[in-house]
Structure 1
Protein backbone atom coordinates (compact mmCIF):
# COMPACT_ATOMS: atom_id res chain seq x y z
CA UNK A 1 0.00 0.00 0.00
CA UNK A 2 2.86 2.38 0.77
CA UNK A 3 4.35 1.61 -2.63
CA UNK A 4 1.07 2.64 -4.27
CA UNK A 5 1.24 6.07 -2.63
CA UNK A 6 4.81 6.49 -3.84
CA UNK A 7 3.77 5.39 -7.32
CA UNK A 8 0.98 7.98 -7.40
CA UNK A 9 3.37 10.76 -6.36
CA UNK A 10 5.91 9.62 -8.95
CA UNK A 11 3.29 9.66 -11.70
CA UNK A 12 2.06 13.11 -10.68
CA UNK A 13 5.61 14.44 -10.88
CA UNK A 14 6.27 12.85 -14.26
CA UNK A 15 2.95 13.93 -15.79
CA UNK A 16 3.83 17.55 -15.07
CA UNK A 17 6.79 17.26 -17.47
CA UNK A 18 6.42 18.27 -21.09
CA UNK A 19 6.03 15.50 -23.68
CA UNK A 20 9.56 16.09 -24.99
CA UNK A 21 11.09 15.67 -21.55
CA UNK A 22 8.97 12.58 -20.84
CA UNK A 23 10.51 10.92 -23.91
CA UNK A 24 13.97 11.39 -22.39
CA UNK A 25 13.10 9.60 -19.13
CA UNK A 26 15.29 6.64 -18.32
CA UNK A 27 14.82 4.05 -15.58
CA UNK A 28 17.65 5.68 -13.61
CA UNK A 29 15.87 9.06 -13.67
CA UNK A 30 12.64 7.42 -12.51
CA UNK A 31 14.58 5.76 -9.68
CA UNK A 32 16.05 9.10 -8.63
CA UNK A 33 12.54 10.59 -8.57
CA UNK A 34 11.37 7.74 -6.32
CA UNK A 35 14.32 8.24 -3.96
CA UNK A 36 13.70 11.99 -3.73
CA UNK A 37 9.99 11.43 -3.03
CA UNK A 38 10.80 8.91 -0.28
CA UNK A 39 13.30 11.31 1.27
CA UNK A 40 10.80 14.17 1.15
CA UNK A 41 8.11 12.03 2.81
CA UNK A 42 10.55 11.02 5.58
CA UNK A 43 11.45 14.66 6.26
CA UNK A 44 7.75 15.59 6.45
CA UNK A 45 7.20 12.94 9.13
Structure 2
Protein backbone atom coordinates (compact mmCIF):
# COMPACT_ATOMS: atom_id res chain seq x y z
CA UNK A 1 0.00 0.00 0.00
CA UNK A 2 1.39 3.44 -0.87
CA UNK A 3 2.74 5.42 2.07
CA UNK A 4 0.30 8.26 1.35
CA UNK A 5 -2.70 5.97 1.88
CA UNK A 6 -1.23 4.66 5.13
CA UNK A 7 -0.80 8.25 6.33
CA UNK A 8 -4.40 9.01 5.40
CA UNK A 9 -5.62 6.03 7.42
CA UNK A 10 -3.48 7.16 10.38
CA UNK A 11 -4.91 10.68 10.24
CA UNK A 12 -8.49 9.45 9.98
CA UNK A 13 -7.90 7.18 12.99
CA UNK A 14 -6.38 10.07 14.97
CA UNK A 15 -9.29 12.34 14.06
CA UNK A 16 -11.85 9.73 15.09
CA UNK A 17 -13.28 9.37 11.58
CA UNK A 18 -12.54 5.64 11.64
CA UNK A 19 -12.10 3.17 14.50
CA UNK A 20 -9.89 0.17 15.16
CA UNK A 21 -12.92 -1.97 14.39
CA UNK A 22 -13.21 -0.29 10.98
CA UNK A 23 -9.59 -1.13 10.26
CA UNK A 24 -10.05 -4.71 11.45
CA UNK A 25 -13.02 -5.05 9.11
CA UNK A 26 -10.85 -3.77 6.25
CA UNK A 27 -8.34 -6.56 7.03
CA UNK A 28 -11.16 -9.13 6.99
CA UNK A 29 -12.34 -7.68 3.66
CA UNK A 30 -8.73 -7.82 2.40
CA UNK A 31 -8.56 -4.07 1.76
CA UNK A 32 -5.67 -3.95 4.24
CA UNK A 33 -3.05 -6.52 5.18
CA UNK A 34 -2.20 -7.35 8.76
CA UNK A 35 1.10 -5.53 8.17
CA UNK A 36 -0.81 -2.42 6.99
CA UNK A 37 -2.91 -2.63 10.16
CA UNK A 38 0.25 -2.68 12.29
CA UNK A 39 1.77 0.23 10.34
CA UNK A 40 -1.38 2.31 10.87
CA UNK A 41 -2.11 1.46 14.51
CA UNK A 42 1.25 0.37 15.91
CA UNK A 43 -0.49 -2.75 17.22
CA UNK A 44 -0.46 -6.32 15.98
CA UNK A 45 -3.64 -7.49 14.29
CA UNK A 46 -5.51 -10.02 16.43
CA UNK A 47 -7.98 -12.18 14.52
CA UNK A 48 -9.84 -13.10 17.70
CA UNK A 49 -10.91 -9.51 18.34
CA UNK A 50 -11.92 -8.75 14.75
CA UNK A 51 -15.46 -10.11 14.99
TM surpasses 0.5: no
TM-score band, normalised by shorter chain? 0.3 to 0.5
CA radius of gyration, larger in:
1
TM-score, scaled to structure 2:
0.34
Query: Normalising by structure 1, what TM-score?
Result: 0.38
Larger RCO: 1 or 2 (CA < 8 Å, sep 6+): 1
